[in-house]
Structure 1
Amino acid sequence: MKSLIHHLYKAIILVMVVMLGACATTQQNERVARIDPLEPMNRAVFTFNENLDQYLVKPAAEAYKFVMPDAVRRGVTNFFSNIGDIFVAANNLLQGKPKEATSDIGRFLVNSTIGILGLFDVATDIGLDKHAEDFGQTMGVWGVSDGPYVVLPFFGPSTARDTVGLAVDLKTDFVLNTNQLNSDEKLGVTALRVLDRRANLLDAGQLLEDAAFDKYSFLRDSYLQRRRNQIYDGDPPPLGD
């Protein structure tokens, strides 16, 4: 009799585990359908971007990192970062954060002068912290919802809201819109910026390759979580809210 009861308990526990697993799977499928309704198309674009990176961008970035001394690469990174501080300041103002905007403008002025056109990041050493703001975040602060998750060709993870924000960022991008450079020079500077950014991500990319079972899902969830964290300046409310 005891043996029969013992086996009955085991059967009940097994059924409960299976039911809980089924519920969890259903909830996960519903969540994915809600945040990523374009998943088949997104995965196709993701594969295209991965192939482009594997066969072109990553090898070029590795060559760039191998050839360029660390000091030169750091100067290139600082130069583009310094230009970006102007647009970071504008977004901080639009988000109602004048203190941060003032710091961003201060960074630009200090690095453009003492830092020799931004090649050296003097501002951080004197306590003017670097911020990261874009128009997608600004719209998020204004209350614009994410919309569906989207993977953009060449640019990668995004959302409907951040895609609009990216269009605004590109429209106001100094390198792409300056009259001081011709089309060939703009292309060269843009290529340098892409190589520099990719070279800075080589180590992180390898960690991702080693850690992620489903790289697409991992990047999607990481991107959405990071953007939510950025919009709320590191203190997001519970998702239920």
Structure 2
Amino acid sequence: MIRQSRAALAACLLMGFMLAGCAAPPNGGRDELGVVEPWDPLENVNRVTFDANMWLNDNAIGPTAQAYRWAVPDYVQLRLRHGIANLGEPLVFGNDMAQARVKSAFTTFWRFVFNSTVGLAGLYDVATDLGLPRQTGDFGQTLYAWGMRESPYLVLPLFGPSTVRDGMGMGVEMWADPTGRVLNNANAGDANIAIGVVGGLDKARNLETLNELKKGTIDFYALLRSVWLQNRQATLDEAVGITSSNMPAIP
């Protein structure tokens, strides 16, 4: 059932890409200063999804995440965070290879080896202390490196800011995730779900940052779109070997 839902999500995102990719982006996506210009032909739909996400954040996800942080000691939260991040390293490695980022792939490979062994299944990030920092690498990046440079902005239910290209990449990764496939084949689908829930609750700690950004903002949707696109572009630039400055990140 989990695998079927992943395949359905990937198919829906692919269809969204085909439908939304008909128009041309303005000015190649950046202004004369290199700042990413929003290409948001789906703005009306995106704003509805954005409002629904904010309501869920305020009334369900936020309170649940606060309860998680209250009930689980900081030390345990950090161990779980590192462990879940380690499970994602094979995907990072695969995408770095697909982008011909050999050095990043090499770093990711040894990160996974050291953290999975010395770091006790990734609960301790010993690799960073050894000079092997975590690398970027996702399928949205890979599609960008393969030539799919411009893509409409898209707000995904629950997941938030994205683009059609990155949403499509997320769908592919959810379907192809090697860790998820191993757990499913081992009849450990419940563990797969638990990992996703804990990871989501951990990331929800960033809702406090969003609330700070929201204060005094007339159009929070437009502000978050701008901040996210600028930060995302810096990550995409890495896929093609460009070093670019990015705005303060939303962790």
TM-score under structure 2 length normalisation: 0.76
* Corresponding position of 1:190: 196
- Conservation of the 8 A alpha-carbon contact between 2:57 and 2:207: no
Equivalent AA in structure 2 for residue 220 of structure 1 = R
Q: Secondary structure of the residue that 2:215 maps to in structure 1?
A: helix
Matched, 1:214 2:219: yes
TM-score under structure 1 length normalisation: 0.79
Larger radius of gyration: 1
Matched, 1:223 2:228: yes
Give 5+ residue unaligned stretches, structure 2: 1-30, 246-251
Shift of 1:34: 7.0
The separation in 1 between residues aligned to 2:89 and 2:209, in whole angstroms, is: 24
Distance 1:33 1:85, change over 3 A: closer
The separation in 2 between residues aligned to 1:150 and 1:137, in whole angstroms, is: 16
- Conservation of the 8 A alpha-carbon contact between 2:115 and 2:121: yes
Pick the aligned partner of 1:86 from 75, 90, 108.
90
* Corresponding position of 1:173: 177
Give 5+ residue unaligned stretches, structure 1: 1-26
Shift of 1:36: 0.7
After the TM superposition, which segments of 4 or more aligned residues of structure 1 sit over 4 Å from their partners? none
* Corresponding position of 1:19: none
Matched, 1:54 2:74: no
Equivalent AA in structure 2 for residue 71 of structure 1 = Y
CA offset digits 1:118-148 (Å, max 9, x no partner): 0000000010011121000111112202321
> What CA RMSD, in Å, does the superposition of the two structures yield over aligned residues?
2.2
Matched, 1:141 2:145: yes
Q: Secondary structure of the residue that 1:59 maps to in structure 2?
A: helix
Q: Secondary structure of the residue that 2:41 maps to in structure 1?
A: coil
The separation in 2 between residues aligned to 1:225 and 1:97, in whole angstroms, is: 22
Distance 1:34 1:194, change over 3 A: closer
Pick the aligned partner of 1:77 from 71, 81, 85.
81
The separation in 1 between residues aligned to 2:129 and 2:60, in whole angstroms, is: 36
Equivalent AA in structure 1 for residue 69 of structure 2 = K
The separation in 2 between residues aligned to 1:67 and 1:231, in whole angstroms, is: 37
Q: Secondary structure of the residue that 1:232 maps to in structure 2?
A: helix
Shift of 1:89: 1.0
* Corresponding position of 2:210: 205
Q: What are the within-5 Å matches in structure 2 for residues 95-110 of structure 1?
A: 95-110=99-114
Equivalent AA in structure 2 for residue 188 of structure 1 = A
Shift of 1:181: 4.3
Higher RCO (CA < 8 A, seq sep 6+):
2
The separation in 1 between residues aligned to 2:66 and 2:72, in whole angstroms, is: 10
Count, aligned residues: 206
- Conservation of the 8 A alpha-carbon contact between 1:42 and 1:150: yes
